[in-house]
Amino acid sequence: MTQSKWIWYPGDYEIYHSIQLHSRRQEAGVDYPSMWGLANVYPRVNFEKRFTFEHDGWVNVRVNGIGYYEVDGVRYPCGGRAEVAAGSHRIVATIMNTKGLPAIYCESDQLASDSSWLCCPGTLVMDTPAGDDPAYTSPDDNVEVFPFKYTEIRPVSVEQNSLGTLYDFGRESFGLLEFDADPADEITVVYGETAEEASAYKPLSRDGALVYETVSGQSHYKLRSRAFRFITIIGKASDVHAQLELLDVEYKAHFSCDRPEVEKIFDICSYTFHLNSREFLLDGIKRDRWCWSGDAYQSYLVNDYLFANRALNRRTITALYGKPPYFEHINRINDYSALLIIGTWEYYFTTGDAELIHLLWPRIKALYGFIVERLNEDGLVVERPGDWIFIDWSDMDKTGALCAEQILLWQTCNAMAKLALLEGDTGDYEERADALKALINERYWDDEQQAYIDSYESGRQHVTRHANIFAILYDFVDGDTAQLLVKSVLENDEITKITTPYFELFELMALCKTGHIEYAQNLIDSYWGGMLKLGATSIWELYDPMEEGVEHYAMYGKGFGKSLCHAWGSGPVYLLGRYCAGVRPTSVGSETFVVEPNPGLYTKFDAVVPIGDGLVEVHYADGVLRVTADREGGVVRFGGCESVLPKDVEIVL
């Protein structure tokens, strides 16, 4: 008999934990729930299983909520044991949970609850396989508690500051602070990613620490999970320590080269990403702590090249879709809806997880329909009431229909066409993509500037990098035109530079894709290395080398508004594995892959890169390449040569 698991309506586990996640943000003493709407779980769910007992036995159904179960039409209370004779039977559980996640667990000598059970949210048609997770296999597990791993950490130094006692935990962390105190004392805790922030307790001020709280009445405290490196305690406390709260994942990747600082950058990017890999892929751990689709899109790529943790991407995608009907774009941002659908196709290509596509297809199609119904009469993305045309924090001409949005729409149509094949859908996705491509080239291409302009409606003929980067990344243009765009836009200092690590990653991907990896390698040294020289233990949301001192910590009009641990700063993990080591899948499910290294400026490097369920080791020194893989399906291309890569056999080129 297989191991029983707690089971639920598929997707509702992710939705429940998304609700919890998006309710936890606090800022300057104020609770700050998400600025977009959230779907909810189905409060009432039926579960069914047809089974056969080889001999007389028993079942008992536990429930997270209230309800009952029936065996062959005979009703039993949940938590009560039913004797079952040998033979074929049908069990049905009907449960409700008005405040949490409805779920059941079957205890039995012969029957296990798992995804082979069917369920429905109240109708009589049991046609949906139940959801489950290997973390919840005990009847005593709580499906409303996410299974993090906890490790005790203690401060590496303690000193007095102007407020009280300042504790330094040595590096950026996320966890639950614990300490002892006199119940009669009032204790204020000020959290900071820097010593300056932890020393700036200014309630309700935009210049003070973003996160703080005051407690009293207990002798021992274990506070809620928060981000910090430094903590100031105002009042008398003892035995101050914390429980580091992390997702239990395996680091599968490694990179080092003849530039020693690169290995340190890679490791800190990896740790930054780990801190932001939680129930879902977050943007940052201090301020928002939310799941943004654009941030998550890049994080899918980093995850594939660091943890290769399929469940993490799957949970995030499922949570972001929520449930139709859709009344606003994902995170209220037009481009984030597009990136969710594009990312879904890329997830399927990487994993071959057709089960998730089948579960989400009605939601994917509904989101696509929402996108299409808000297009203008020409079929272009425009800003409607409630929309946010974002793309990036940059000076763009967003008059009317922005070009970058149209290229994302084009790629969304392509993704829909590929996903539709799995579901037998015969929509007009390809036709819409073809018509849109012709319209984009007609209205946005500027022959004089040899580039795509932002807007044809304003008459400014303004060029920014963003649309041109997307044109390269998504193969909107052919190879020759891509090289032209590199010269006319990406290497053109007159075009406004990218300022965020978010879109800088897209730009570096475009440059690496077109063979210009040296720029990325130098920027890793200067941009990411610049943060490390300032003492960063995780990668920031934004870095401006012209700033000094506490100027580095300000953003959004707040003295400490910048996130100093932001997932989109982890891009070098992906860049080095994908483009320098050159490992990428070439078929659905990563069944086949290619290793096509580009050392660029490095005279030697050593890399371990996950691919599918295996690992590839790539070693390069003085023009000689050595590659091994612990799985079949690989091909190595280097120096004009191509060789099949057998399992566990070293290839030297």
Q: Is residue 422 part of a domain?
A: yes
Residue 406 shares a structural domain with residue 508: yes
Residue 545 shares a structural domain with residue 566: yes
Q: How far apart are CA 122 and CA 169, in angstroms?
A: 50
- List strand residue ranges (DSSP E) for 97-180, in order: 103-108, 118-120, 128-129, 131-132, 149-153, 157-160, 165-180
Instruction: State which residues of the chain have pLDDT below 70.
Output: none
Residue 184 shares a structural domain with residue 111: no
Is residue 104 helix, strand or coil? Answer: strand
Residue 573 shares a structural domain with residue 629: no
Pairing state of beta strands 614-621 and 165-180?
unpaired
190-248 tens-digit pLDDT: 999 999 999 999 998 999 999 999 999 999 999 999 999 999 999 999 999 999 999 99
Q: Which of 382, 377, 375 is nearest to 403 (CA)?
A: 382
Q: Is residue 634 part of a domain?
A: yes
Residue 296 shares a structural domain with residue 231: no
Contact 111, 51 (CB under 8 A): yes
Cβ atoms within 10 Å, residue 27: 14
Torsion angles phi and psi, residue 91, rounded to 5? -115, 135
Q: Is residue 1 part of a domain?
A: no
Pairing state of beta strands 44-53 and 445-446?
unpaired
Q: How far apart are CA 272 and CA 538, in angstroms?
A: 5
Sign of CA dihedral 325, 327, 333, 334: positive
Sign of CA dihedral 473, 477, 482, 485: negative
Residue 562 shares a structural domain with residue 624: no
Q: Is residue 609 part of a domain?
A: yes
Torsion angles phi and psi, residue 270, rounded to 5? -65, -45
Contact 101, 12 (CB under 8 A): yes
Residue 383 shares a structural domain with residue 310: yes
- What residues make up the domain containing 436? 254-580
Q: What is the CATH number of the domain that holds 121?
A: 2.60.120.260
Residue 305 shares a structural domain with residue 355: yes
Q: Is residue 109 part of a domain?
A: yes
Output the pLDDT for position 207. 93
Q: How far apart are CA 179 and CA 11, in angstroms?
A: 37
What the block records as the tokens of 46 is 């039926």
What the block records as the tokens of 581 is 């080591």
Contact 110, 85 (CB under 8 A): no
Residue 238 shares a structural domain with residue 273: no
Q: What is the CATH number of the domain that holds 614?
A: 2.60.420.10
Output the pLDDT for position 500. 86
Q: How far apart are CA 329 and CA 519, in angstroms?
A: 35
Contact 621, 603 (CB under 8 A): yes
Q: What is the CATH number of the domain that holds 501?
A: 1.50.10.10
Q: Is residue 144 part of a domain?
A: no
- Residue at which a domain ends, from 520, 546, 580: 580
- Residue at which a domain ends, from 535, 552, 580: 580
What the block records as the tokens of 271 is 């740790």
- State the average pLDDT for the chain: 97
176-189 tens-digit pLDDT: 999 999 999 999 99
Length of the chain: 653
Output the pLDDT for position 124. 74
Maximum CA pair distance of the chain? 83
Q: Is residue 491 part of a domain?
A: yes
Contact 245, 279 (CB under 8 A): no
Torsion angles phi and psi, residue 374, rounded to 5? -100, 5
505-520 tens-digit pLDDT: 999 999 999 999 999 9
The percent of the chain in helix, strand and coil, each rounded to the nearest 5, is 30, 25, 40
Is residue 68 helix, strand or coil? Answer: strand
Q: How far apart are CA 529 and CA 465, in angstroms?
A: 24
Residue 159 shares a structural domain with residue 241: yes
Residue 121 shares a structural domain with residue 190: no
Q: Is residue 46 part of a domain?
A: yes
- Residue at which a domain ends, from 560, 580, 600: 580
- List strand residue ranges (DSSP E) for 155-219, in order: 157-160, 165-180, 187-192, 211-215
Contact 445, 437 (CB under 8 A): no
The total number of structural domains that make up the chain: 4
Contact 351, 308 (CB under 8 A): no
Beta partners for residue 254, in sequence order: 608
Q: Which of 350, 280, 288 is nearest to 315 (CA)?
A: 280
Residue 288 shares a structural domain with residue 219: no
